[in-house]
Amino acid sequence: MARTLADVKESVEILVQDSSTALSTANRELLIKRAVEAYSLCFPLQTVKEYAGNSIAYQFALPADFYEGFSAVLLVEYPADEQPLCFLKQDTYPQVLKKTDGLYLHFDSFTPGAYTIRIIYTTLHTVATVGGALSVPLGDFMMLCYLTAHLWLQTLANKYANTQDSSLSADVVNYRTKSDEYAARAKDWKTKFEDEVKKRGPNAAIGEWDMALDSGLLFRPREED
């Protein structure tokens, strides 16, 4: 059974053990979604799209979750479901073409015949709108929780660093000290996440998600005008 947004929230609350009410439920859920996006930079979701060739068309619209600057075509099976399996060589791969109405798969070296074309491509992991089910693998659930804990605590550190309002917490006297405490704890969970990423091997893209979070430029799908 897939884990849900509520499962992450419950687990991270246990990990963080913080009684502060400075983060609303809505903000906590938003940060979980940001953690899912950041996790995707290290371990993108691989998904499948099929097209029907007809010996005429050589351009095919890419799915809505194929994001420019993020997604990539990993494999092209053509014709699909052959025995043995038939994958295109990279020098005959279709190109990703940007047009005024979106992104297209453009076959430059040949026009596909009347066979099924199957592509495997990367995209962001998702949080279902209804029920909050996560596409993150069950085995990576705690890794996602570590990353979420980092975001929660870093957000609290930033909040206390910028506040002059003692109503945030009645027992807070030194906001800077409180901010430093949260920042140190956030760093600990960040380190735990990175340690888990490193176990996957040298190709894990730690720097990409780290720089995206630190710069505030975490990838998000472009909204339509």
How sure is the predictor about 220, in pLDDT bands with cuts at 50, 70 and 90?
very low
Of 210 and 110, which is predicted with more confidence? 110
Mean pLDDT on 34-49: 93
Separation of alpha carbons 64 and 75, rounded Å: 18
How sure is the predictor about 217, in pLDDT bands with cuts at 50, 70 and 90?
very low
- Residue 88 has φ and ψ, to the nearest 5°, of -65, 145
Mean pLDDT on 167-186: 72
pLDDT of 7 higher than 50: yes
Mean pLDDT on 131-150: 94
Separation of alpha carbons 88 and 132, rounded Å: 37
User: Which pLDDT does position 204 carry in this prediction?
Assistant: 57
Say if CB 148 and CB 15 are below 8 A apart: no
pLDDT of 168 higher than 70: no
Work out the mean pLDDT of the chain and round it to a whole number.
85
How sure is the predictor about 178, in pLDDT bands with cuts at 50, 70 and 90?
confident
pLDDT of 158 higher than 70: yes
Task: State pTM to two decimals.
Answer: 0.81
Separation of alpha carbons 40 and 34, rounded Å: 10
**Span 182-192, pLDDT tens digits:** 899 999 999 99
pLDDT of 135 higher than 70: yes
Say if CB 104 and CB 59 are below 8 A apart: yes
Mean pLDDT on 155-180: 69
Separation of alpha carbons 197 and 211, rounded Å: 15
How many percent of the chain have pLDDT more than 90? 60
User: Which pLDDT does position 211 carry in this prediction?
Assistant: 45
User: Which pLDDT does position 22 carry in this prediction?
Assistant: 80
User: Which pLDDT does position 166 carry in this prediction?
Assistant: 54
- Tokens 């791969």 map to which residue? 93
- Taken in order 84, 96, 59, 92, the sign of the CA dihedral is negative
User: Which pLDDT does position 145 carry in this prediction?
Assistant: 96
Say if CB 60 and CB 111 are below 8 A apart: no
User: Which pLDDT does position 111 carry in this prediction?
Assistant: 95
**Span 12-32, pLDDT tens digits:** 999 998 777 788 889 999 999
